[in-house]
Amino acid sequence: MTLQQPALAATAVAARPARRRDQSRLFQEVGMLAPAVILLTIFLVVPFLLSFWTAMTNQPLVPRPTPVRFIGFTNFLRIFKDDLFWTSLWNVSRFTFWILPVQCGLAFATALLLHQKLPFRNFFRSLFFLPAITSMVVVCVIWGTLFQYPTGPLNQVIGFLSGGHIQPIDWLGDPDWAMFSIVLLSAWQAYGFQMIVYLAGLQGIPDELYDAARIDGANALQRFWHVTMPGLRPTHVFVLVITTIQAFKLYTQVAILTQGGPKSSTETVVHYMVRSGFEEQKLGYASAVSVILFLIVLVIALLQRQLLRRFDV
C-alpha cells in the first residue's frame, strides 16, 4: 500500500500535461469553428426560422389595421394547389437540367485547354473569367440587344450563315425558345467561375502521376481517364452541387428579360416568390414558397452528393 501511493501520484502528475494539451486543443478547435458557426447561425439558421415562422402567418408586406394571425400550414396547403407554383418549379427544373451539362461542360473543356502550356494563357484565363465578374444586369442588357426580334445581331448572323433559309427567331417572345435563351446567356455569364475551380483542381494533380503514366506507356486519352478524371472527383462534386444551387436561384435574367413570360414559360420559383411577396404583398405566402425552395434544394444537393459518391465520381 505504501509502495503503490507514490506510483499513483507519479501517474497522476504525468497525466496532467496530457489533459492540458487536450484542453488546449479543444479550445483551439472551438475557436476555429466559432466564426463559421456564428456566421451560419446569423445568415442561415435564423433567416430560415424567421421565414418558417412568417410562413405560418398571414403576414402582409404593408401593415394593415387587422392583426396578423397564426394560420398554421394554410400557406403550404395553398401552394400545393397553386398551378403557377408547379409551373415555375417545372421551369426551373428544366433550366437546371440544361444548364448543368452546358455550363459545367464548357467550363471543364475550357479549363483543360487553358491548363496546357499555351502562349498568353494567363491573358485568356482572365478574358474567359471576365463575364463571371460582370454584373448580371449588364449581361442581360447586352444579350437582350443580341436577342432582339427580328433584326437583332444574332438573327442577322444566323440569316447570313444560312443564306436566308432560317427565318428570324423570336428568342425571348416564343415560349419554345425563351428558356433556351435564358440558358444560353446564363451559361456564358457564369461558366468562368466553374472554369477557375476546375483549373485549381487540375493544378492540384501531381505531375508525378502523369510521368508515371507515360513511363507505363499510357497515351493522352488513357492519362485523361485514369489520372485526370480520378484526380478531379472532389472538384466534380463541388461544381455540380454549386451549379445546381445557383440554377434553382434563377431570378435576375427572368426579371429583366421576360418577367416570367411568354405564357409563364420562364417563370421560376424565386421570381414567383418575389412577385408574391412584393407585387401581391403576400409576405406569408412568399415565405412559405421560400421554405419549400430551401428544402427542395437541400434534398437535391444531398441526393446529388450521395449519388456521386455511390458511382465513385
Per residue of the chain (313 residues), give pLDDT as tens.
Answer: 455 566 666 666 666 777 788 888 888 888 889 999 999 999 989 999 999 999 999 888 877 777 788 898 999 999 999 999 999 999 999 999 999 999 999 999 999 999 888 888 888 888 888 888 889 999 999 999 999 988 889 999 998 898 888 889 999 999 999 999 999 999 999 999 999 999 999 999 998 999 999 998 889 899 999 999 988 988 888 898 889 889 999 999 999 999 988 989 999 999 999 999 988 888 999 999 999 999 998 898 888 777 766 655 5
Tell me the three state secondary structure of residue 70. Answer: strand
Q: Cβ distance 168 to 209 under 8 Å?
A: no
Q: Computed over its alpha carbons, how large is the radius of gyration of the chain?
A: 27
Predicted TM-score (pTM) of the model is: 0.83
Q: Residue 38: how many CA atoms within 13 Å on its side-chain side?
A: 6
**Pairwise CA distance, residues 239 & 244, whole Å:** 8
Residue 42 per-residue DSSP state: I
For every residue of 173-219, DSSP letters joined together read TSHHHHHHHHHHHHHHHHHHHHHHHHHHHHHTS-HHHHHHHHHTT--
Q: Which residue has the cell 501511493?
A: 5
